[in-house]
Structures are given as structure tokens and as C-alpha cells.
Amino acid sequence: MWESIVTLSEDKQKVVAKLQSGFVVDAVFDPKGLPEVLKTLEVTDYFLIEDEVLRFVNLAKEGKGEAYEGVVIAEVRNASATVEVTTDEMLASIIVTGAYKGRGLRGNEIVHCLAQAHITKGINKLALKKVLLMSNQLKPGEQFTQAVAQGKQATKGKDAQFIPLVKDVSKQVLKPRSKDSGKLDMRDLGQTITVGENDEVMKRIPATKGQAGFTVQGRIIPPLPGKDSLLKAGKGTHISSEDPNVLVATNSGLPIIKEKSIEVDNALCLNSVGVGTGHVKFKGNVFVSGDIESGMVVKASGSVTVGGFIESAEVQAQGDITVGKGIIGHTVSDGQPKSCKVFTKGNITASYAQFSELQAGQDIQLSVHSMSNDIRCGHDLLVMDTMKKHGTLSGGEAKVGGSIKCVLLGVEGDTATKVHAFAKYDSYKQKIVALKDAYKQAQAATMEVIRKELEFKKKPKAERTEEEQRSIEEMKIQNSQALDAGQSQLELLEMDFEEHLQNCNIEAFDKVYTRVSVQFGDEVVTTKRTHGGSVFSFNQYEIQCSFKMDDEDVAV
């Protein structure tokens, strides 16, 4: 039936369904036979307008006049394009639909398409060429999506930078220098880092505003400016009168790099400390390129840097103590004080230490070994090099506020080694108990105020005084603040305690020998055999040990 209804227009651009005059379709007329007729007409690659096909079928069944006038049910269509923009307007893509017997896209059509979608920024010309190419290669109705424009995020401004113009003393590596002959001069450990008066010591680079971004539709994205900070004059330095972004040394001395500033301390530089110099007591930093000899005393309000050894001497500092070689004492009888004492509120760093007493407010780091020392430090004890190949903690006693890490723990034979980590455990527990008691007292005081308030309200209004009411209100406010502060302090302390409990372990990366006493709080365990790498931790009830498997642990 469709073969007598469907015809191709003269220009071959449209397929028209039209009933001939006087022709009537039956009640079962439907679109089923249409595809075969379209195939016969060789128009299967035309765009079939399915809604119009159904409309024509209904018109024909009803005998409406429009069915006899003709309805376009298929047509030639050129490739089409639509623009899709992401919600943040940062990416625009063109969706190309393949032509139905028609031609591909033209350049002006793509430009018009982009203009309608208000795409003005970040357009990629190569992507547009690809769209043109693909529009001629797609099958009828096939779709292809190509990103053609991309926005640019705003670039955050850089924070103000503070560039030291001097080397960092704390990072200076003291090592023997080569002579002209090629041999090492063990006494020449390099030049001391010092600055002279009016030397530039730090430069400030101001913060930048950043760079604005844009969306594909041309909306400007304002940048986030960098954080700006001013250069600060420290001890022994001042802001340059010629350039406010330059810090200048007021006097000569040893530069200490700080955040946003540099301090220039008076530095005492000595080749060695011995009978020729006498004891040294200095307000500032002390730099000894050689050794501190036996029996000498060095005290400094700043840091102490020693290029060689500290041998059976006493060294005290408020800042860090850095030793290029070793800290050496000699053996003494049990109960006798150590012959070599090194005390500081900062860090102690050395290659090794033996038969000495070391105390540091912060960390102690020895890269080779610690042998028969009495050690106390507020934070961590590390006895190992950066590669974790060397580092033996043997003999003596170490009591540290944080964790202990070494490669080998203990020593073969009968020498006992005692290690006590998280030494602040009891102090934490006492503080927590005290805060809990204070919180309970604050709760009790609050209940007392509530009781007074209830009694006050039971009184006849004539007997109530404004002074009494004001006093109750003030007590309520004070107790509420005390409760909130107490709860906050308790929560923070408990969180800090849990974090320390989790992190303050004793770890030996390679081996643990016999007669090593491990202590946390009041709990102590002593090793009775040699183990591989091990980690000792504490859960408030018992010391837990996890050992790496070694040959001795595997049953045959």
C-alpha cells in the first residue's frame, strides 16, 4: 500500500506521503511496510521523521484532507552540531550528528553554533578542524563529541617568600677538606659560617596577586592573592634603609635562620678548647673547629658546634649541640658520675657517643652507635644513619619522652641495656586524673548553684533581692565557663596522650639481643633470646612485641 502513497520530491530532498484523490486506506493501515518502500526508493539514508509518519497514518485512517495534500515524512539533512557546556563553564564540547544524505558542517555554521552558546574564550582551532573533518565521515545519525574550548582556572598568588642570603649553620656538613696533594686534612673541616656588619642576610619577595582565570563563556575568575608578610628585624639585624625588602646585619657574628627573619648572634670561634684556652663561658654561640679536650668545660647561651670530638669534657648549651665526630668518656666504677657530660635544652647530634651522660630537651641523634651511655631526652632518640645500615644502641640506660629507633638494640654477651620510651606516660596520666577531678568539682559547683537558684525561686518575691539574683547569675556564668574550659582541656590532653601512646614505640630495624630491658610506664620486659627486627609498643596494660621472622624463629 505504501508504494502507491510515498513519492520523492522533484529536487530529491524530501519524501512525501500523499493519498491519491478518492483513495481510502483500511483500518489496519500502519507504518510496517514503509521501510521496504524507502529501500526501493533508495532513501534509507534520509532522516525519517517518525512523528510525521504516525501523524500521516492517523490522518489517512480518518480521511482528513491533509493526507491528500501530502505530508513530508523523510528528508535530506546536513550534519548538525550542538554545544554542550559543563556546569562550571570550564569546558565546552561540540556534539556532531552525521548528515542524512546531506553535506558536512561548514566553518560559518560552527562559528554560529559557538556564538549561540556564548563561547568566546579558550577555543581550540585544531579541535574545530577535527569537528569539520568528522562531520564528513560520520554515518547518518552517528554522533561524535569533541571538546573545543577550555577555560582556565585562576592561578593563586604566591605567598611572600623569605630567602636567606647566608648558609644555614644547622645544615652545614663538617668534613675534612682535601689538600693540594690529594690527601685529606683531618683538621680542616671547612670555613665557619659568619657574616660581617652591614652584610645582606635575607631578602623578601612580596606576595603576588595571582592571575585571573576565565570560563569558556568569558566570565572572569578572580584569583586568590598570596599571603603577604613583612620582613622582621631580629637580634643583630635591621631592615635596610635603601630597600625595605632586605635584612642587613647590624653586627658581625653567626647567622641563625628564623622564620621571616635572621638573628646574628655573637659567635665565639675557637680552633680547640684545652689548657691553652681554659674553660669557655659565652653568651652566644660557640664554634669549635677541632676538639674539646679532657677536663674542659664549655657553657653557651646559644648553640655549640664542635668539628671534632668532645672527650671527657662538660658541655652545656641552651641551643643545639652538634658534634662532627664523637662524644667520648672513659669507663668509671658503678655509681660514679660519667666523665663526659653533654647537656642542652635543644638537640644533640653526633656520629657516636660512649661512656657519657647525654641530656637534651628535644631529640638526640647518633648515626653510628651509642655505647654504655646514660641518656635523657624530651623527645626522640635515634641511633642510626639515613640508610638504616648502622646504628647500635648498647649498654647503659636511655630514658626518652618520645620514641626510640635504632638498627641494633643491645649487644651480644652479658651487658645489660635499659630503654624506657614515652617517659612522660606517668605525667600524662597524673594530669588527666587532675583534670578529671577538677571537672568533677566544677560539676559539683554547678549543681550547688542550681540548688541555690531553686531555693531562691521558692522564696516569695518580696523576699528576693536583686543582689542575690545577680550573684547567682554570675556564679552560673563562671561555672559554665569553668565546665567548658575543663572539658576542652581534658579532651585535648586525652587526644595528645593517645597520639603519643600510638607513636612512642621502641623499634630495632635489624636485631634485638638478650638482656635488653624495655620499659613503658611501670611495665618492664626483658629479652631472653635474640630476635630479628622488632617493635615494642604499649597499650596502657602491657608491653606488646612484634618480631620479624628470622632463621631462629622458623621451626624445621
Q: H-helix or E-strand containing 496?
A: helix 466-503
The per-type count for the chain, helices as H runs and strands as E runs, is 7, 41
Instruction: Return the pLDDT at 414.
Output: 74
98 CB-side CA count, 13 A: 13
DSSP code for 447: H
User: Strand pairing of 531-538 and 506-512?
Assistant: antiparallel
Instruction: Return the pLDDT at 184.
Output: 56
Whole-angstrom Cα distance, residue 150 to residue 368? 57
Instruction: Return the pLDDT at 76.
Output: 95
* Single-letter amino acid code for the residue at 198: N
Of 131, 300, 92, the closest CA to residue 216 belongs to 92
Which residues are within 8 A (CB) of 172 and not within 5 positions of it... i.e. 6 or more apart? Answer: 190, 193, 305
- DSSP bridge partners of 328: 311, 354
- DSSP bridge partners of 292: 273, 310
Q: Which long-range contacts (CB under 8 A, 24 or more apart) does 428-435 make?
A: 428/493, 428/496, 428/497, 428/500, 429/497, 429/521, 431/493, 432/490, 432/493, 432/494, 432/497, 435/486, 435/489, 435/490, 435/493
Q: Are 14 and 74 in contact (CB under 8 A)?
A: yes
Q: Are 316 and 300 in contact (CB under 8 A)?
A: yes
- DSSP bridge partners of 14: 75
DSSP code for 354: E
How many residues can be counted in the chain?
556
Reduced to 3 states (helix: H, G, I; strand: E, B; else coil), residue 457 is helix
Whole-angstrom Cα distance, residue 174 to residue 411? 30
Of 4, 67, 77, 13, the closest CA to residue 37 belongs to 4
C-alpha cell belonging to residue 244:
625595605
285: how many CB neighbours lie within 10 A of its CB?
Answer: 25
The CA-based angle 455-460-462, given to 5 degrees, is 125
Instruction: Return the pLDDT at 187.
Output: 43
Where exactly are the structural domains of the chain? 2-75, 80-150, 161-265, 426-503
Whole-angstrom Cα distance, residue 232 to residue 220? 36
Instruction: Return the pLDDT at 484.
Output: 82
Q: Mind listing the pLDDT tens digit for each residue in 32-50?
A: 889 999 998 999 999 999 9
**Is this model's pTM higher than 0.85 or not?**
no
Residues in the chain where the model's pLDDT stays below 50: 186-188, 550-556
Which residues are within 8 A (CB) of 62 and not within 5 positions of it... i.e. 6 or more apart? Answer: none
Whole-angstrom Cα distance, residue 294 to residue 274? 8
Q: Which residue's entry shows cell 638504616? A: 388
Residue ranges of alpha helices (H) inside 5-106 are 34-40, 50-62, 65-69
Instruction: Return the pLDDT at 335.
Output: 77
- DSSP bridge partners of 161: 205
Q: What is the CA radius of gyration of the chain?
A: 43
Dihedral, CA atoms, 73, 76, 79, 84, nearest 10 degrees?
-20
Q: Are 274 and 289 in contact (CB under 8 A)?
A: no
Of 345, 397, 388, the closest CA to residue 370 belongs to 397
Instruction: Return the pLDDT at 552.
Output: 44
Dihedral, CA atoms, 265, 269, 274, 278, nearest 10 degrees?
-50
